[in-house]
Structure 1
Amino acid sequence: MTSTSPTTSFDVAIVGAGPVGVSAAIDLARRGRRVIVLERRAAPSDQPRAHVVNARTMEIFRGWGVADAIKREGLHPELARGFSWLTSMSSDALATLDYVDEATAERHSPERLCSCPQDLIESVLLQRLAEEPTATVRFDHEVTAIEQRAGGVDLTVRAADDEEVVTARFVLGADGANSTVRTLIGAGLSRSDALGRRANIYFHADLSEAARDRPNILWFILSLETSGIFIALNGRDRWVYSVEIDADTDVAAEFTEEYCLELIRTATGVPDLVPEIQSVLPWRVDMAIADHWRVGSVFLIGDAAHQFPPMGGFGMNSGIQDAHNIAWKLDAVLAGTADESLLDSYEDERRDVAVYNANRSMENAKNQQEAAAFMSNPEVLRLLAAAEGDEMRAIFAQGVEQQRAEFHSQGQQFGFVYSGSAIVDDGTPIDESTVTEYVVSTHPGARAPHARLAAHDGRGVSTIDLFDGGWTLLSNGSAQFWAEAAAEASSNTGVLVTPAAVLPVAQGANEYVDERGDFAERYALAPGAAVLIRPDGHVAARWQSTPVDAGHALGSALALAGLRGAAVPAE
């Protein structure tokens, strides 16, 4: 066995080079942390797997400078505007749902949902990580043992016929649903009963004639011969067809190339199509949550911590947001500006979000199954196509409308509100969002809202762009007052707090004008009031009126949010 020298010790070792693990590495490395990513695969995946990048995740990618690259690799926006239900891809739609109307999307975020295959997402993220000098990525390196000790973790890593020990202060297990890290640290997994089982047929074929440039991310096929879902990976020649299968189906034996060919021909309505089958991957329609997300200095993120079906597209997004949540906290502990107790807030905050997303995904799956069962009735299919079928078409359209929450999930994407030890609760009621309706809020714990502003040089910016991975103090006026408070708090805590102010006239850096009234409407801050935004873009504290001693108030808020070195008000 070969042991690593002290120079091969890292701040954080990340097990798994999927989108979640690489996202964690990017966030940590851009803060200057020495990170290593260990991946048991010999090379990056060539499978599309997940494909939905929701707007909140795109905001995170925007902060890392990769959002535009993801959009270039993804389904063209003009081909990613909705969802259709048809008897075959070649047929006219029985019903459609738009993804989201333009006005609503513009109000909630500077970014939009992007449909981009996971293999291409991984490629973009790995290229971005390669730009960071403190990051190392090793493929064909499998972690086989974890030993925790005072001040660090030793990972036994097998590469080819050799073994080595990689040492890190912290470890993130981002190694997927069958996580080795989860097993090695003894974290159990609570799994639901399965609603069913599906197989994803990934294939290449030019479907331009059948698709007719219709802007569907998903094509729901409902007929007597086959029921399934086409996923448009690029809208041209890269597709997935997902079908329900029995619990005891032997996919390797039954999904032969000939069987897949006939299935795809029927579903597309193109009888002479010759698709190139790339893979057939079975999966269960169920949910699972790890019993513990932290054991000592080892943390679980992404599918290692939680799993749920893709109906609604929250799996990969939840994992990347896990990474975004834990990275700044690890950085604060490594920098000595926070105690390790801050790290307990990771599971406290993210578990509730994961459980909610899991339950909603299962509900979406049930709704899809009910729609498919309804459409399997031959009389229903006959009436939908018949002149006398107006009533049935109205019933079907109503059923499609009941699935809207799966596709119009603005509240689910933006409206979750953290609570607990890393949030300074101000005692006001939480503004509750629904799945579909996002209630804009600056309540402590909420994602700081998107608002359009103008910089001092006339550039248009989103408030989201102001939260670049550090602590930000955003005020309604009183720029000098809050700037002095930020300087005092930064001096006392060692934590850089960047002041930004919205003013009638902007004259310098970090000053902005609310030309459209967006900030006044969405932040609802009285003159002189302010919000403190955490490095992950969530509100840590809010002052709805101007405090007498703002420096002390801000320092106290930082301490209450888990950071060291600030004076906490006496009881």
Structure 2
Amino acid sequence: MTQMTQIDGDEVERVKVLIVGGGVVGLSASLFLAQHGVPSLLVERHAGTSIHPRARGVSGRTMELLRGLGLEAAAREAGEAIAPSMGVYKGRSLSEVMASRRSNGLVIRWLRERMMRGEGSPKSPTSPCRVTQDHLEPVLLDAARARGVDARFSTELVELAQDAEGVTATLLDRGSGARRRARADYVIAADGARSPVRTSLGVGQSGRGVLTHQLNLYFRADLTELVRGREFSMCLVEDGDLRGLFASVNNTDLWVLHVPFDPEKGERAEDFGRERCEEIIRRATGIPDLAVELKGVMPWQSAVRVADGFRHGRVFLAGDAAHVMPPWGGFGANTGIQDAHNLAWKLAAVLAGRAGEGLLDTYDVERRPVARAVADIAGDMNDERGLMTGRSGLAMLWTMRRAFPYFVVGYGYASEAVILEPGAPPGPGATDLRGRPGTRAPHVWLSRQGARISTLDLFGRGFVLLAAEGGDAWCEAARTLARRTGIPLSSHRVGGDVEDPSGALGGAYGIGRDGAVLVRPDGFIAFRARTARAAPEDVLADALARILVAPALRAAGRGVSAGPWMHG
């Protein structure tokens, strides 16, 4: 239900969080906020969701986040029309490349089938999913609206002003031309690579900058027989002055061809009319009489740019507004969704009065290093003309070695919101999922009321205290602390409400029989007690006070009057 307020005699709409941008990142942000009980208003200047495939894959880590939203199955169903594919090839034309290949090998076929089934790995209960952005966004939008998100398309943010108490936004209805104002506590800017919000704030960017200018030619052409048994992900073609990169959509009749152009040579996107684009496609396929239906032409820049700060007062940058990177490796959308996941629980905690404003600073501290790392990797996968490098064999594997960890969960955090242990802090590329604070909580199969669940299924809505078999004191301390403070904090003990049939949990989390870990709402380890501690309530209260940047919580957690401590 929309609330209204008066500002300078004018009626203004009142919202907790305003999300600018209705793409995959903005929609994900609205869903993660809803998961924590925070209503949001989402505005998008376009009339609907994306009509271009754009991002074509959801990483294993992002699928874990969709699993937490209850959308894993829906995402896979949306991707059923998109044939899973692997392999990056190179040749003079697509026809020549296909003619040189007999069929995909046993390993490739096995990996594709596994992806189709959504089978997990020892590190995760799920696996990557191949689904294009134009199919995924409607799934996210339907879910967001079903969960109470006020999502308005054809609505453009035209002015933004913030003060110490909130942000005032002027919104334009692009259909009627009507303007209205909204007042939000916080704003998430997920409004793309050219982000008007970022520009209006005067936020600088750093990195290699624009590498090349590209045209995305989205087209329909029946190439089923050409690629049957040789389905691929990408194919670089080069013949004389022609250079382009095919990206398969469904490996039958939907494709994208990336073609570079050079403004310094006087080339413009406007010069590529329908007939010229269709001729480029025919030449790149090597089929002169190919029937081509051009579905869309979209100019874009292959660039590496990261914003100089993801938080600016009450405005937060996410997705392409925060970091731009070449699409090779599929980092852009996945990194953006992970941005939103990191930010949502922190906004919820501050809005509920359970955390200090300082917690919001950890969004930048945690996410900007990850963005820089993956942007550099994606940039290294670029060749001199802005297409994915055509290296093959061991050279390609060497280039990809830095990318592989991020396809699963290769990132760690080191900030005030983590009680770090001695030694080098985890950071981008961290893959040692062994219960170390600052890393994603390890996946272990458990049993609850006879049902098989992953440890990851326990996380997502609030803090979780996960204890080994002898950790009763930790669980009792967590229950007492939750009761005194109102902080969403649940506890689970092996041998209590959950069972550990494999006996793997203690080893996976690095805790003894009477140890425990405190897991943040985003599934990252915040604190670890390898064994029992004296006064566990005080230990947990101190840990939460540090993590939430809320010193008064120490006293509240001990049952001592702490003044105006708020807990929702």
Fold match, TM over 0.5? yes
Confirm or deny: 8 A CA contact 1:56 1:413 kept in the other structure: yes
411-420 or 165-174, larger mean C-alpha shift: 411-420
CA displacement 1:498-520 (0-9 Å, x = unmatched): 112234xxxx53x12142x5434
The CA deviation string for residues 328-384 of structure 1, in whole angstroms up to 9 with x for no partner, is 01100111101111111111111111111111111111499798678xxxxxxxxxx
SS of alignment partner, residue 252 of structure 2 = coil
Q: Please report how far the alpha carbon of residue 259 of structure 1 lies from its aligned counterpart in structure 2 after TM superposition.
A: 2.6
User: What is the CA distance between 1:290 and its match in structure 2?
Assistant: 1.4
Aligned residue number for residue 236 of structure 1 = 252
Work out whether 1:299 is the aligned partner of 2:286: no
CA contact (8 A) 2:309 2:368 kept: no
SS state at 1:279 partner = strand
2:187 to 171, 180, 189: 171
RMSD: 3.0
Question: Who is 1:560 aligned against?
Answer: 546
Aligned to 1:360: 377
Corresponding residue for residue 128 of structure 1:
143
Q: Which moved more, 1:187-196 or 1:299-308?
A: 187-196
Answer whether contact 2:48 2:153 (CA < 8 A) is retained.
Answer: yes
Q: Which moved more, 1:188-197 or 1:424-433?
A: 424-433
Partner of 1:108: 123
Matched, 1:424 2:419: yes
Amino acid at match of 2:422: G
Change (3 A) 1:365 1:93: farther
Q: Which residue of 2 aligns with 1:56?
A: 61
Change (3 A) 1:113 1:220: farther
> Share of identical aligned residues, percent?
35
Distance 1:174 1:411, change over 3 A: closer
Partner letter of residue 519 of structure 2? Answer: I
**Mapped pair 1:399 → 2:395:** yes
SS at match of 1:258: helix
- SS of the equivalent of 2:54 reads coil
- Alignment CA distance shift 1:242-1:177 (3 Å): same
Q: How many angstroms does 1:72 deviate by? A: 1.4
Structure 1 residues 126 and 470: CA distance shift in structure 2, 3 A: same
- Please give the secondary structure, in 2, of the residue aligned with 1:142: strand
1:562 Cα deviation from its structure 2 partner = 1.6
Aligned to 2:122, the other structure's residue is in SS state: helix
1:492 partnered with 2:497: no
SS where residue 155 of structure 1 aligns?
A: strand
Change (3 A) 1:122 1:563: same
User: Aligned letter for 1:282?
Assistant: P
TM, length-normalised to structure 1: 0.86
Aligned to 2:168: 154
Query: Higher mean Cα deviation, 105-114 or 483-492?
Result: 105-114
Among residues 158, 167, 191, which one is paired with 1:144 in the alignment? 158
Deviations 1:207-266 (A, max 9, x none): 211120434222333555744322222232221111333344634444232332232223
Residue 261 of structure 1: aligned partner: 278
Q: Indicate yes or no: 2:48 matched with 1:43.
A: yes
Distance in 2 of aligned mates of 1:117 and 1:107: 26
Q: Distance in 2 between matches of 1:25 and 1:471?
A: 20
CA drift at 1:430: 4.3
Q: Which residue of 2 aligns with 1:315?
A: 332
User: 2:463 touches 2:488 (CA, 8 Å); kept in 1?
Assistant: yes
**Which of 455, 472, 484 does residue 480 from structure 1 map onto?**
472
Asked if the contact 1:198–1:245 (Cα under 8 Å) also holds between the matched residues in 2, the reply is: yes
Q: Which amino acid aligns with 1:112?
A: S
Q: Secondary structure at the match of 2:126?
A: coil
Instruction: For residues 5-26 of structure 1, give each alpha carbon's deviation from its aligned partner in whole angstroms, at most 9, with x where no partner exists.
Output: 4683111011111111111111
Equivalent residues in 2 for 1:58-97, closer than 5 Å:
58-74=63-79, 79-90=84-95, 91-92=98-99
Distance in 2 between residues matched to 1:533 and 1:240, nearest whole Å = 41
In the alignment, is residue 454 of structure 1 matched against residue 447 of structure 2? yes
Residues 13-28 of structure 1 mapped to structure 2, 5 A cutoff: 13-28=18-33
Alignment partners' CA distance in 2, 1:56 and 1:372: 25
Determine whether 1:541 maps to 2:534: no
| Superposition map of 1:263-278 within 5 A | 263-278=280-295
Instruction: Tell me the residue number matched to 2:563.
Output: none
Structure 2 residue runs of 5 or longer lacking an equivalent are 7-11, 559-568
The 3 A distance-change label for structure 1 pair 140 and 373 is closer
* Alpha-carbon shift at residue 99 of structure 1 (Å): 10
Give the Å deviation of 1:479. 4.8
Counterpart CA distance in 1 for 2:518 and 2:177 is 51
Q: Which amino acid aligns with 2:448?
A: A
Point out where structure 1 has 5 or more consecutive residues left out of the alignment. 375-395
Tell me the distance in 2 between the aligned counterparts of 1:67 and 1:448.
19
Q: Deviations over 1:114-143 (max 9, x none)?
A: 22211211111000001113x211112111
The answer (yes or no) to whether the contact 1:486–1:499 under 8 Å persists in 2 is yes
Change over 3 Å in CA distance of 1:544–1:367 after alignment to 2: farther
Change (3 A) 1:555 1:372: closer
- Alpha carbons of structure 1 residues 22 and 5: separation in structure 2 relative to 1, 3 Å: same
| Matching residue of 1:439 | 432
